[in-house]
C-alpha cells in the first residue's frame, strides 16, 4: 500500500523516496553479503555450490527493501521465507553447515524490513500478525539460545518501536496543525462579524447625518423655486432640488449595500481601463492608454487594485491639473504588473470647486491597499511640472490575502 505522507515536503529525501529506498536496499545487500562472507551468519567454512546459490537468494531477498514503502508485508514475507529456508537447510535437513553454529541466520535487512508494516501498512492487524510470525522465525525458539533469541528479538522489535514513535509523532503534529487552522478560521469569522457590525454602524451614522443635511438642502431649494423672482433662478433651484433628491436615492442604495454583507468586490478589473480613459477624454482631458503584454496575466485582485489606482489618478488630474495631457502605460508581466499615470503641467490653475473636494487621503488609502497585495506606490511631481503616479503590483495575489 502506497504511503503519501511527506509528499509535499520540500526535502530531497521526501521528493525522491524511490531513490532513497533503492540506496537503502543496495547498502544492506552489500552489508549482509560482506557479513555473510566474513562468517558472521550461516556461511560454511568450506562453501560449495549450494552456499553460493543461497547467497544469491539472500542478495535478492535483501534487494526487496527497494519496495519497503509500497509493499512492506511482501518484504517481511520474503526475508522471513529466506530466513526459514536457511534455518531448515541447517537443521533438520543438514545440507548447510555454518562455520559458527551459534549465529543468527536472519540477514541484517530484517531491521528496516520490520519498520515498514506498522508505518506504511494501514491494516494494523495484518502488520502485527506478520511481525509476530517474522519474530518467531528470526528468534528460532525451537533452538533455545539466550543470545540468539535476544539478538533476534532486537532485530524485529527495534523497527516497529521506531515506527510507532514516528507515526504517533506525525499524528500529534497533524492534530496541532488542524487545531491551528481551526483557530485561524475562527479568527477570520470573528473578524468578518466585527467588520459587518462596523459596516452597519457606519451605515446608520451616514443615514442620520448626511440624509438630514441633504434633506434640508432639498427643502431650501424647493422654497427658493417658489419664491424666486425670475425664471433662471427658479430653474437653478429646480435643478438643485432634483440633484438633492437623486443624491438621497443614491444614499439610500449605498446605505443598503453597507448594511448587507458583501458578495464580492464589484470593482472592474483591467478591462475597465479603456472606459476610464474614455470618460477622461469625454470631460476634456486628453488621455492616451498604452498597454503592453497580456492583460490575462493580472489576477482579479491585482486588476481591481490597478483599476482603483487609475481611477484615483485620473480624478486627481481633473481636480488639480485642468488642461493637462495624460499618458497611461500598463505593462503586464508574468511576475508583476506596472501601471504608470503621468500628466503634463496644467494649462491653467486648479479649479477651486473641484480641488477642494475630497478627503485628501486618496493616495494614502491607495498606498495602504497596494501594500496589502505586497505592491508599491510612488506618487511624486515631475521635473517638467507635471505629476506621476506609478504602481508596481505582483501579477498574482490569492484572493484571501487581499481582502480589505
- Pair 188, 106 in one domain: no
Our count of domains for the chain comes to 3
Would you say residue 100 lies in a domain?
yes
Range of the domain at 18: 12-144
- Pair 301, 218 in one domain: no
Provide mean pLDDT across the span 85-99: 88
Q: Above pLDDT 90, what percent of the chain?
A: 31
Would you say residue 166 lies in a domain?
no
What pLDDT, on a 0 to 100 scale, did the predictor assign at position 361?
Answer: 53
- Pair 224, 279 in one domain: no
Categorize the per-residue pLDDT at 3 as very low, low, confident or very high, splitting at 50, 70 and 90: very low
Q: Count other C-beta atoms under 10 Å from residue 246's C-beta.
A: 11
CATH number reported for the structural domain that contains residue 283 in this entry: 3.30.565.10
Would you say residue 316 lies in a domain?
yes
pLDDT tens digits, one per residue of 211-262: 667 777 777 888 888 888 888 888 888 888 888 777 777 776 666 666 555 5
Instruction: Look at 7-11, 35-39, 126-130, 321-325 and tell me which has the smallest mean pLDDT.
Output: 7-11
- Pair 277, 254 in one domain: no
- Pair 26, 86 in one domain: yes
Would you say residue 165 lies in a domain?
no
The last residue of a domain, from among 208, 232, 259 = 259
Would you say residue 140 lies in a domain?
yes
Computed over every residue of the chain, the mean pLDDT equals 82
What pLDDT, on a 0 to 100 scale, did the predictor assign at position 191?
Answer: 82
What pLDDT, on a 0 to 100 scale, did the predictor assign at position 351?
Answer: 46
pLDDT tens digits, one per residue of 187-224: 877 887 887 777 777 766 666 667 667 777 777 888 88
Would you say residue 179 lies in a domain?
no
Provide mean pLDDT across the span 337-341: 95
- Pair 246, 362 in one domain: no
The answer on pLDDT for 144 being more than 50 is yes
pLDDT tens digits, one per residue of 352-363: 444 444 444 567
- Pair 27, 128 in one domain: yes
Grid cell locating 364: 494614502
Amino acid at each position: 500500500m502506497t504511503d503519501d505522507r511527506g509528499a509535499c515536503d520540500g526535502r530531497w529525501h521526501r521528493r525522491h523516496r524511490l531513490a532513497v529506498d533503492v540506496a537503502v536496499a543496495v547498502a544492506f545487500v552489500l552489508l549482509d553479503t560482506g557479513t555473510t562472507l566474513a562468517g558472521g551468519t550461516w556461511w560454511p567454512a568450506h562453501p560449495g555450490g549450494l552456499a553460493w546459490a543461497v547467497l544469491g537468494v539472500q542478495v535478492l531477498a535483501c534487494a526487496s527493501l527497494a519496495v519497503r514503502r509500497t509493499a512492506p508485508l511482501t518484504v517481511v514475507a520474503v526475508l522471513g521465507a529466506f530466513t526459514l529456508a536457511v534455518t531448515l537447510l541447517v537443521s533438520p535437513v543438514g545440507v548447510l553447515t555454518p562455520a559458527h553454529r551459534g549465529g543468527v541466520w536472519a540477514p541484517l535487512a530484517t531491521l528496516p524490513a520490520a519498520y515498514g508494516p506498522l508505518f506504511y501498512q494501514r491494516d494494523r492487524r495484518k502488520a502485527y500478525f506478520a511481525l509476530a510470525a517474522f519474530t518467531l522465525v528470526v528468534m528460532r525458539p525451537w533452538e533455545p539460545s539466550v543470545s540468539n533469541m535476544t539478538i533476534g528479538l532486537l532485530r524485529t522489535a527495534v523497527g516497529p518501536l521506531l515506527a510507532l514513535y514516528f507515526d504517533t509523532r506525525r499524528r500529534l503534529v497533524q492534530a496541532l496543525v488542524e487545531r491551528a487552522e481551526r483557530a485561524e478560521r475562527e479568527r477570520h469569522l470573528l473578524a468578518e462579524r466585527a467588520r459587518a457590525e462596523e459596516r452597519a454602524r457606519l451605515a446608520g451614522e451616514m443615514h442620520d447625518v448626511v440624509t438630514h443635511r441633504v434633506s434640508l438642502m432639498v427643502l431650501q431649494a424647493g422654497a427658493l423655486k417658489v419664491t424666486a423672482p425670475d425664471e433662471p433662478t427658479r430653474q437653478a433651484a429646480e435643478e438643485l432640488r432634483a440633484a438633492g433628491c437623486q443624491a438621497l436615492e443614491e444614499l439610500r442604495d449605498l446605505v443598503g449595500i453597507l448594511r448587507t454583507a458583501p458578495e464580492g468586490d464589484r470593482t472592474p478589473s483591467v478591462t475597465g481601463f479603456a472606459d476610464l480613459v474614455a470618460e477622461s477624454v469625454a470631460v476634456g482631458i486628453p488621455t492616451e492608454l498604452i498597454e503592453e503584454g497580456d492583460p490575462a496575466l493580472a489576477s482579479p485582485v491585482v486588476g481591481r487594485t490597478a483599476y482603483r489606482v487609475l481611477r484615483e489618478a485620473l480624478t486627481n488630474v481633473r481636480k488639480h491639473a485642468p488642461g493637462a495631457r495624460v499618458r497611461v502605460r500598463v505593462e503586464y508581466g508574468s511576475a508583476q504588473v506596472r501601471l504608470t499615470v503621468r500628466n503634463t503641467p496644467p494649462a491653467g490653475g486648479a479649479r477651486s470647486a473641484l480641488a477642494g473636494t475630497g478627503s485628501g487621503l486618496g493616495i494614502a488609502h491607495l498606498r495602504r491597499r497596494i501594500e496589502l497585495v505586497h505592491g508599491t506606490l510612488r506618487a511624486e511631481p515631475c521635473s517638467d511640472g507635471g505629476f506621476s503616479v506609478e504602481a508596481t503590483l505582483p501579477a498574482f495575489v490569492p484572493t484571501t490575502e487581499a481582502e480589505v
